C-alpha cells in the first residue's frame, strides 16, 4: 500500500451548509491522526485546471473559530465546467480531463477526498478511474437524492430553512386569510418539500414524484374553508410541472438550465379556481446558506473523519455513507448510480396522507 503523506480535498457542485464542518473534520483527523498535510483545492476541479494549480495548504488553526458554524465553503466550488465536456467561449466543447489529472499530480497528492453530489462525484470518479487517482467521496446535496446513504450534508439545514419559512408564513397567512404558496429547491426530487411540508404543517405538498391535478388542490383548499379554516399553506417543489406537463425552467447567461417559478403558476391557478387570495414565496438559495444545523455539523464531522480513515486504509473508490445509525462506506460507482427520489408509497408520504395533507392526486 502506497504511503500517504499529502492529501487533497475539494468541494464540488452546488454549495450547502456543513461543507466547512466537513473540511474541518478532514483536516483535524488527517493532521492529528496521521500527521499528513492537507491541500485544499479551490473551486472544485477548476482549481486543478488552473495553472499554476489553485490550491492552499489547510492548517488546523483556520478551523478553530466560526467555520464549524458557517455555511458555504472556504474553498469555493462550481457546478459548471465539466472537464470531460468543457465549454469554450466560442460555444464549442473540449475534453480537459487530462489537465485535471495533471493538476492532481503537480500537487504531489497521494489521495483526494471529493465532497460532492451525484453529478460532481460521478465526474470525480471518472477522473480517478482515468488517471488512477486515489479517491474517496463524501456526499453532500440539499436535494438528498444520492443513493446508498440516508444522509447527505446540507439537506438537514435546507429542510430547517424551508420549515422556518412555513413557520413565518403561517401567522401572516392567518392574519390576512390567504393561501400561501412556498416553492422550494430539490432539483428533480421532492425530499425538501415533503419533509419541510410535514414539519411545517403544510396543507398541500406538490412533489415531482406524485402527479397532481389542480382541481384536487383547489378541492382541498375549499374543504379547509368549509371546515372554518381561513388560510392554507401550499408547499411546491421546484421541479413540479405545469398542468400541460411542462417544467418551469430558465436558461442562465452561462447556459446552465435551472428550475424556478412553478410556485407562481400554482398560486395563480389556485386563485383562479377557488377565488382565494394567494401569495407566493420562492425560497431559492436561502436554503443553501444559514447556520448549519447540529445534524449537518454532526454528519459532516462523521463523514470527514471516516473519509480520512478510508484513505489511511487504502480503501479508495468508495463513498462514506450513513445507514442504520452507522457510518459505512459504499462503492462510489453504486452511490452515483443509485439516484434516490421520494418513494410515492414510502413512510413520509404515508405520514403526510395520515395527517390529511393533500398531494393533489386524489
Interaction site with ligand F6P (CB under 6 A): 14, 79, 141-143, 185-187, 238, 256, 258-259, 288
Q: State the number of CA atoms in the 13 A half-sphere of 177 facing the CB.
A: 7
The strands making up 278-282's β-sheet, listed across from edge to edge, are 204-206, 232-237, 179-184, 278-282
Nearest residue (CB) to ligand F6P, 54 versus 188? 188
Question: Cβ of residue 63: shortest distance to ligand F6P, in angstroms?
Answer: 25
Nearest residue (CB) to ligand F6P, 14 versus 83? 14
115 close to 10: Cβ distance less than 8 angstroms: yes
Question: Cβ of residue 80: shortest distance to ligand F6P, in angstroms?
Answer: 8
Nearest residue (CB) to ligand F6P, 4 versus 207? 207
71 close to 292: Cβ distance less than 8 angstroms: yes
Nearest residue (CB) to ligand F6P, 149 versus 278? 149
Which sign, positive or negative, has the C-alpha torsion 293, 299, 305, 311?
Answer: negative
Chain centroid to Cα 324, Å, comes to 21
In the chain, where does DSSP find H-type helix? 19-28, 34, 45-49, 97-106, 118-131, 155-176, 191-199, 214-226, 262-274, 294-313, 332-337, 347-354
Q: In 3D, which of 261, 238, 264, 257 has the Cα closest to residue 184?
A: 238
Question: Cβ of residue 66: shortest distance to ligand F6P, in angstroms?
Answer: 23
Nearest residue (CB) to ligand F6P, 247 versus 344? 247
Which residues 6+ apart lie within 8 Å of 264 measured at CB? 248, 280, 282
User: Grid cell 412533489 — which residue?
Assistant: 207
Residue at shortest CB range from ligand F6P: 185
Question: Cβ of residue 225: shortest distance to ligand F6P, in angstroms?
Answer: 33
Helix-helix angle 118-131:97-106, to 10 degrees: 70
Our CA dihedral for 42, 47, 50, 52, rounded to 10 degrees, sits at: 60
Question: Cβ of residue 144: shortest distance to ligand F6P, in angstroms?
Answer: 10
Name the helix (H) or strand (E) containing 180: strand 179-184
Question: Cβ of residue 121: shortest distance to ligand F6P, in angstroms?
Answer: 12
Residues serving a catalytic function are: 143
Nearest residue (CB) to ligand F6P, 14 versus 40? 14
Amino acid at each position: 500500500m502506497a504511503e500517504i503523506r499529502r492529501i487533497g480535498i475539494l468541494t464540488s457542485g452546488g454549495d450547502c451548509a456543513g461543507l466547512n464542518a466537513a473540511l474541518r473534520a478532514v483536516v483535524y483527523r488527517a493532521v492529528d491522526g496521521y500527521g499528513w498535510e492537507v491541500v485544499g483545492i479551490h473551486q472544485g476541479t477548476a482549481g486543478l485546471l488552473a495553472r499554476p494549480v489553485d490550491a492552499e495548504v489547510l492548517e488546523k488553526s483556520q478551523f478553530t473559530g466560526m467555520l464549524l458554524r458557517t455555511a458555504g465553503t472556504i474553498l469555493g466550488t462550481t457546478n459548471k465546467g465539466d472537464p470531460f465536456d468543457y465549454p469554450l467561449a466560442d460555444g464549442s466543447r473540449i475534453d480537459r480531463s487530462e489537465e485535471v489529472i495533471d493538476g492532481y499530480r503537480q500537487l504531489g497528492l497521494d489521495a483526494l477526498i471529493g465532497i460532492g453530489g451525484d453529478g460532481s462525484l460521478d465526474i470525480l470518479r471518472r477522473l480517478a478511474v482515468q488517471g488512477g487517482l486515489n479517491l474517496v467521496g463524501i456526499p453532500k446535496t440539499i436535494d438528498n437524492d444520492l443513493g446508498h446513504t440516508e444522509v447527505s450534508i446540507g439537506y438537514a439545514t435546507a429542510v430547517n430553512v424551508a420549515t422556518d419559512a412555513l413557520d413565518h408564513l403561517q401567522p401572516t397567512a392567518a392574519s390576512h386569510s390567504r393561501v400561501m404558496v412556498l416553492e422550494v429547491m430539490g432539483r428533480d426530487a421532492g425530499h425538501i418539500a415533503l419533509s419541510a411540508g410535514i414539519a411545517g404543517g403544510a396543507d398541500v405538498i406538490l412533489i415531482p414524484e406524485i402527479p397532481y391535478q389542480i382541481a384536487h388542490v383547489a378541492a382541498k383548499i375549499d374543504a379547509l374553508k368549509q371546515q372554518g379554516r381561513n388560510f392554507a399553506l401550499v408547499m411546491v417543489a421546484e421541479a413540479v410541472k405545469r398542468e400541460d406537463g411542462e417544467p418551469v425552467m430558465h436558461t442562465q447567461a452561462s447556459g446552465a438550465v435551472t428550475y424556478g417559478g412553478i410556485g407562481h403558476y400554482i398560486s395563480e391557478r389556485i386563485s383562479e379556481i377557488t377565488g382565494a387570495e394567494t401569495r407566493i414565496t420562492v425560497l431559492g438559495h436561502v436554503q443553501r446558506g444559514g447556520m448549519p444545523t447540529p445534524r449537518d455539523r454532526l454528519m459532516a464531522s462523521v463523514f470527514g473523519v471516516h473519509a480520512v480513515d478510508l484513505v489511511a486504509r487504502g480503501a479508495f473508490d468508495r463513498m462514506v455513507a450513513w445507514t442504520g445509525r452507522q457510518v459505512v462506506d459504499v462503492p462510489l460507482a453504486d452511490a452515483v448510480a443509485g439516484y434516490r427520489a421520494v418513494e410515492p408509497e414510502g413512510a413520509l408520504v404515508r405520514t403526510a396522507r395520515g395527517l390529511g395533507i393533500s398531494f393533489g392526486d386524489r
